[in-house]
């Protein structure tokens, strides 16, 4: 079974050379999808223009149909389940470093509050809103084909416009929050990013509280209010996502995965995995037909 660990590998499935800082699809029908889950290593905006798709994101299943869109951050784990015969989508992948070049605020994307489910949002919107996003994607595709002195800056500006239009659509679906609540949301976003960047090495609440220069107690209070979960639960969820990705690689043994994830033994890793999934790592591999 072939495993796609990241988006570069997945795009290569379609013979797309995506070593640029961004990629815009043509919007043509897609009839074949990777069978294995993969981890995003780009930011992504995907708009369903016709038909529908059943998709699994971070182990949760969704149905996305026309005028719905998915926006996701790196580390999101995606698995395609099935699509209707008339399914079509337009999509954009981009690298954050490309987008924020020459911008002093490294958290500008996070401040747009795009990801209501931790690292992604799925939104059903009105046809006119979908048309705005699709037209911007078409314009982006057109401009990216013309290599001129200011092409990179034009592309960057259009992507920012896309994100801001997307953020506005999402914002209209949310209740307004006070500035204090916004500050707490920013802290939660920073906490989530820290976990994604450090999960293989650090799993204690104390480490993340220290990195954020706050107390354990305050971190627990903020994360509970922002997500309804404790920091331990968020850490465990992220660790489980990492375990799923690594178990999808048949070249890694369960002992090697346990070592990479800083467990004392394969049995300790097995207990953790079974606690959260009700099956062992080896049983999961059998159920997904992942053979080493």
* pLDDT of 9: 63
Closest CA to 127 of 25, 72, 47, 53: 47
Cα–Cα distance measured from residue 82 to residue 204, given in angstroms and rounded to the nearest whole number: 38
Closest CA to 193 of 245, 234, 162: 234
Counting residues of the chain whose pLDDT is more than 70, the rounded percentage is: 89
What's this model's pTM, rounded to 2 decimal places? Answer: 0.63
Q: Taking the domains of the chain in order of start, what are their residue ranges?
A: 7-172, 180-287
* pLDDT of 5: 52
Per residue in 270-285, pLDDT (tens digit) is: 999 999 999 999 999 9
Phi/psi at 101 (nearest 5 deg)?
-55, 130
* pLDDT of 117: 81
Per residue in 22-49, pLDDT (tens digit) is: 888 877 776 677 777 888 888 999 999 9
CATH 2.60.120.280 fits domain 7-172 = yes
DSSP characters for 186-228? HHHHHHHHHHHHHTTT---HHHHHHHTTS-HHHHHHHHHHHHS
Per residue in 168-183, pLDDT (tens digit) is: 998 887 754 445 556 6
Count Cβ atoms below 10 Å from residue 270 Cβ, excluding itself: 18
CATH topology of domain 180-287: Arc Repressor Mutant, subunit A (1.10.10)
Q: What is the mean pLDDT of residues 230-236?
A: 93
């Amino acid at each position: 079974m072939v495993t796609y660990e990241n988006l570069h590998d997945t795009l290569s499935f379609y013979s797309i050379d995506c070593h640029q800082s961004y990629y815009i699809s043509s919007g043509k029908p897609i009839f074949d999808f990777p069978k294995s889950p993969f981890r995003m290593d780009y930011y992504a905006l995907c708009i369903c223009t016709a038909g529908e798709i059943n998709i699994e994101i971070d182990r949760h299943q969704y149905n996305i149909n026309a005028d719905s869109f998915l926006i996701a951050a790196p580390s999101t784990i995606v698995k395609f389940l099935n699509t209707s015969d008339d399914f079509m989508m337009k999509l954009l992948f981009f690298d954050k470093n490309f987008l924020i070049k020459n911008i002093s605020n490294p958290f500008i994307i996070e401040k747009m509050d795009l990801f209501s489910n931790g690292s992604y949002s799925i939104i059903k919107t009105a046809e006119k809103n979908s048309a705005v996003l699709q037209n911007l994607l078409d314009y982006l595709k057109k401009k990216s084909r013309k290599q001129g002195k200011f092409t990179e800056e034009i592309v960057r500006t259009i992507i920012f416009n896309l994100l801001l239009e997307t953020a506005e659509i999402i914002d209209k679906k949310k209740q307004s929050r006070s500035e204090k609540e916004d500050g707490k949301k920013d802290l939660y976003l920073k906490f989530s990013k820290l976990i994604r960047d450090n999960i293989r090495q650090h799993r204690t609440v104390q480490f993340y509280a220290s990195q954020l220069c706050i107390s354990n107690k305050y971190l627990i209070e903020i994360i509970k209010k922002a997500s309804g979960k404790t920091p331990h639960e968020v850490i465990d969820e992220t660790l489980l996502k990492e375990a799923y990705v690594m178990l999808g690689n048949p070249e890694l043994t369960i002992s090697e995965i346990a070592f990479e994830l800083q467990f004392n033994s394969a049995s300790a890793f097995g207990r953790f995995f079974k606690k959260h999934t009700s099956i062992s790592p080896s049983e999961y591999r059998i159920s997904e037909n992942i053979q080493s």
